[in-house]
């Protein structure tokens, strides 16, 4: 079956690529397995040199790669440019810090000398999604490669050109053949790759359902696994919040990338004192968003990435309205050739509505009215997800205390949840396990080996 690049803004086919047969896949796995030991023997300086060339190429051809992203998955071009720049920065970050992060640690014991050394695991399979088609790959690849691993990429089937472009960037930057390989394979072939003796670990960013399947397969074959899955991030607005800042950030946090982000704010939990004021301001700001051609710099909301995703989102909304949620604005598809959906708000969402329990992966915000501060905290934790969260209050000490009570991988006080190469990123509960980025991220795919010498 071919991989099809379909422009979600126009519903036009851009290009198609044939998937690999079994023989080509096996050869790629063998080549990666053979290439990794030699890469592991290179110096940190050599690896850093490659990553710095990668960063330079990303920046030199930023507009080209951003256009590719926008054409394949519909992200507004200005957001796509920022994504490419973030990838370059992450490559530079690990080029600078990897040696420090992986330096052997001396530990006092009954030995004459004892320490922990960090060695690469081998070949890592990265199963990546379409919503940030460059960033998701680079935040996995940069630390894995700097640690001396090889990386196999199984990208989402609707962004094959992005996948091929990333592979070419590494090749053109001097990475040895087989150390980074894009696999043009079907979803059904992933289990076989995980089972391969050439593969030693797997990382996945994607849906909860995909995470369960990959985790089960990795567990069956006793292979290390890191999962970054869905989220239903709470955005708690307390009575003393800076309302202008909270509202402007609420719009950015929910509607960036057309709302197609695991760490987008999705549940806006407001206390009674400010609920109506927040909703009025939020509605006004959302209705002012410019929806249109993602290739235009003025556009703030592009299309959703696929028609089936838009249909699923609309079904979640209509089912929630049937269960008592109130449509404040939007809540309709745009009649055109592309996969556009109006920026939307649902109010008075209760536990009877699908929107209360399910992740809404698109441009829809849900407002939940808490009885008070304690109830806001209860609502924030009343989800099977646990990725990001934020709290808005001028009382930073109180907000920090409440942050300690939220069940999530991160909590931002008076700021938008985002990933940063300097900070660990990941979730708990059904949002997955393990961490990406920072020192913790590079340590996920190394062997912490104890050495004891009499």
Tokens of 323: 């269960």
262 is catalytic: yes
Single out the catalytic residue among 228, 358, 359, 436: 228
CA dihedral 96, 102, 106, 112 (to 10 degrees): -130
If you search the block for the tokens 């940030």, which residue do you land on? 132
3-state helix, strand and coil shares in percent for the chain, rounded to the nearest 5? 45, 20, 35
188 and 159 in contact (C-beta within 8 Å)?
no
| Full DSSP string of 162-204 | HHHHHHHHHHHTTPPTTSEEE----GGGHHHHHHSTT--EEEE
C-alpha dist (Å) from residue 140 to 114, 133, 211, 327, 443: 31, 12, 16, 39, 12
Among the listed residues 46, 50, 149, the one whose alpha carbon sits nearest the alpha carbon of residue 443: 149
148 and 121 in contact (C-beta within 8 Å)?
no
What whole-number distance in Å separates Cα of residue 98 and Cα of residue 50? 13
Among the listed residues 155, 124, 166, the one whose alpha carbon sits nearest the alpha carbon of residue 33: 124
Q: List the 201-205 sheet strands across, edge first.
A: 180-182, 150-154, 123-127, 201-205, 224-228, 432-433
Close Cβ partners of 290 (under 8 Å, ≥ 6 residues apart): 298, 299, 300, 301
Single out the catalytic residue among 217, 225, 258, 262: 262
What whole-number distance in Å separates Cα of residue 423 and Cα of residue 101? 13
228 is catalytic: yes
Q: Calculate helix-pair angle for 62-73, 44-60, nearest 10 degrees.
A: 70
Residue 4: strand pairing partners: 16
430 and 407 in contact (C-beta within 8 Å)?
no
Fill in the DSSP letter of residue 301.
Answer: B
Catalytic residues: 228, 262
């Amino acid at each position: 079956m071919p991989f099809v690049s379909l422009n979600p803004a126009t519903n036009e086919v851009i290009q198609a690529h044939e998937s690999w047969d079994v023989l080509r896949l096996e050869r790629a796995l063998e080549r990666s397995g053979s290439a990794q030991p030699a890469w592991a023997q290179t110096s940190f300086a050599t690896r850093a040199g490659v990553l710095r060339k990668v960063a330079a190429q990303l920046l030199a051809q930023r507009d080209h790669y951003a256009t590719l992203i926008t054409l394949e998955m519909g992200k507004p071009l200005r957001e796509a440019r920022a994504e490419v720049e973030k990838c370059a920065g992450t490559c530079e970050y690990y080029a600078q810090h990897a040696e420090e992060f992986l330096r052997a640690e001396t530990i006092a014991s009954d030995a004459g000398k004892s320490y922990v050394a960090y060695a690469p695991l081998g070949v890592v399979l990265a199963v990546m999604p379409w919503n940030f088609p460059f960033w998701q790959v680079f935040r996995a690849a940069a630390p894995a490669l700097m640690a001396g691993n090889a990386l196999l990429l199984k990208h989402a089937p609707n962004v094959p050109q992005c996948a091929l472009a990333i592979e070419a960037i590494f090749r053109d930057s001097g990475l040895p053949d087989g150390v980074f390989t894009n696999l043009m394979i079907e979803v059904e072939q992933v289990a076989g790759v995980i089972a391969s003796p050439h593969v030693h670990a797997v990382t996945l960013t994607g849906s909860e359902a995909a995470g369960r399947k990959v985790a089960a397969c990795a567990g069956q074959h006793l292979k290390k696994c890191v999962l970054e899955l869905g989220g239903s991030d709470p955005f708690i607005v307390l009575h003393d919040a800076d309302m202008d800042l909270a509202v402007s950030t609420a719009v950015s946090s929910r509607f960036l990338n057309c709302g197609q982000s695991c760490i987008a704010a999705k549940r806006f939990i407001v206390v009674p004192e400010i609920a109506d004021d927040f909703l009025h301001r939020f509605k006004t700001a959302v209705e002012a968003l410019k929806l249109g051609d993602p290739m235009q710099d003025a556009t703030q909301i592009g299309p959703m990435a696929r028609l089936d995703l838009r249909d699923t989102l609309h079904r979640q909304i209509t089912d929630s309205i049937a269960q008592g949620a109130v449509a404040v604005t939007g809540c309709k598809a745009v009649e055109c050739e592309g996969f556009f959906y109006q920026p939307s708000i649902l109010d008075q969402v209760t536990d009877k509505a699908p929107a209360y329990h399910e992740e809404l992966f698109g441009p829809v915000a849900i407002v939940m009215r808490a009885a008070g501060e304690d109830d806001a905290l209860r609502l924030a934790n009343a989800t099977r997800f646990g990725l990001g969260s934020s709290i808005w209050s001028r009382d930073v000490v109180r907000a920090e205390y409440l942050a300690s009570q939220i069940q999530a991988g991160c909590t931002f006080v008076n700021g938008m949840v985002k990933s940063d190469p300097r900070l660990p990123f990941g979730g708990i509960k059904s949002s997955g396990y393990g961490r990406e980025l920072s020192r913790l991220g590079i340590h996920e795919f190394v062997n912490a080996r104890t050495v004891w010498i009499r």
